Amino acid sequence: MADLFLAPFSDFEFMRRALVGAIAIALGGGPVGVFLMLRRMSLTGDAMAHAILPGAAIGYLIAGLSLPAMTVGGIVAGVAVAVAAGLVSRFTALKEDASLAAFYLLSLALGVTIVSLRGSNVDLLHVLFGTVLALDDRTLLLLASISTVTVLALALLYRPLVLECVDPTFLRSVSRAGTPTHLVFLGLVVLNLVGGFHALGTLLAVGMMMLPAAASRFWTNDITMMMLVSVAIGIVSGAGGLLLSFHAELPAGPAIILTAGGIYGLSLVLGREGGLLRLAWPGRHLEA
């Protein structure tokens, strides 16, 4: 049993690095995913994951597979698309979801085109699906920094974020914190997507943010517990996906997301808060 679960991490440094990276992504992305889900912005996260691609691709075009260049490019592109989509939805008849869809499709096509101009198919796969098994010290430091900033920012903004999820009209009536909180939150989304991009690629980065969050909703109604459960599911998904990748010789990034999807499926069936079995056989009246 120890050989099955512990030996890959004790014997291989690249597996330990990948596990640390997955834990860092789960610590930052899990709570952000919960608020995206509660604010009905799940598809916004997916759109913004694709939106960072052109900036990262331009960074790649200028400096190759450079961590600083691709990180700065991804952050700039993500923020630019978020602001542009907001302006289009505010000053035109187009709704925000439609404007985001338009921008993310253009971003994905533009990013793939830019990478293809200079790189090979291997470089394109690196950008789209990440290299979680090849994380170096600088990338791990970046992921840890992003998760730290995210946790601290969410701790400071917890009250207005919860109020905005529950009753945004009330928040606007009693405070002017709504708009700044929303902008900071979007910045945290972009940061975590950029961090996830370096490990899982632009196509899978949002998976570690949304699948654990969606699964946690089936186990609790409390927002704080939902965030903790989401982080725990993200960590288990990262470790389980890496083990699945190692033993079954599968790509590591997709294996992590498939593991998270499996946990989501189990939660959907077995969850105590709206799971299918709970709905099919509810407890007696007034029974927990």
> Residue 105 corresponds to which tokens in the numbers above?
């499709």
According to the model, what pLDDT value does residue 233 have? 97
Compute the mean pLDDT over every residue in the chain, rounded to the nearest whole number: 86
Q: What is the pLDDT of residue 225?
A: 95
| CATH no. for 2-275 | 1.10.3470.10
Inform me whether the pLDDT recorded for 216 exceeds 80.
yes
Predicted confidence at residue 41, as pLDDT, reads 79
pLDDT, one tens digit per residue, over 139-181 is 999 999 999 999 999 999 898 888 877 777 767 677 777 778 8
**Given its phi and psi angles, is residue 40 left (phi above 0), alpha (psi -120 to 50 degrees) or beta?**
left
Band (pLDDT 50/70/90 cuts) for residue 211 is very high
Report domain extents, the chain: 2-275
- Quick: pLDDT tens for 45-64: 877 888 888 888 888 888 87
Whose tokens are 């969410």? That residue is 154
Residue 121's region, left for phi above 0, alpha for psi from -120 to 50, else beta, is: alpha
Flag whether pLDDT at 255 surpasses 90: yes
What is the pLDDT, as a whole number, of residue 58?
87
Query: According to the model, what pLDDT value does residue 148 have?
Result: 96
Q: Is the pLDDT of residue 241 over 60?
A: yes
At CA 121, angle to CA 117 and CA 122, rounded to 5? 120
pLDDT at 126 over 80: no
More confident residue, 277 or 117: 277
Tens-place pLDDT, residues 105-122: 888 888 888 888 776 666
